[in-house]
């Protein structure tokens, strides 16, 4: 199952229902008295995909390392070009 299918399945499982008796929001998954249904659904997606804060921080670190590498490579090439003048 691809990523989009996983997310679509979670969204389908978490349809918002307004409950008239207590004024709170209920979710099709069984959660009751929700104050923020969007956050509830987002958390369900994160849980379903197995995302963790550590994984996000590691991904950010990898991207930052690659950016630093490209920046250093660019600086080196620029230095070579400036020396050729």
Is a pLDDT exceeding 70 seen at residue 18? Answer: no
Mean pLDDT value across residues 58-65:
83
- Sorted by where each begins, the domain ranges of the chain are 1-51, 52-85
Encoding tokens for residue 56? 């996000």
pTM of the model: 0.52
pLDDT tier, 23 (very low <50, low <70, confident <90, very high otherwise) = low
- Please say whether the beta carbons of 14 and 44 come within 8 A: yes
pLDDT given at position 2? 84
Least confident piece of the model among 1-10, 14-23, 27-36, 48-57: 14-23
């Amino acid at each position: 199952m691809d990523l989009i299918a996983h997310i679509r399945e979670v969204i389908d499982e978490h349809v918002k229902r307004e409950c008239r008796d207590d004024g709170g929001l209920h979710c099709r998954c069984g959660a009751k008295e929700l104050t923020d249904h969007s956050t509830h659904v987002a958390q369900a997606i994160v849980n379903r995909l197995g995302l963790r804060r550590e994984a996000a921080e590691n991904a950010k670190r990898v991207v930052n390392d690659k950016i630093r590498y490209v920046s250093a490579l660019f600086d080196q090439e620029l230095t070579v070009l400036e020396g050729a003048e």
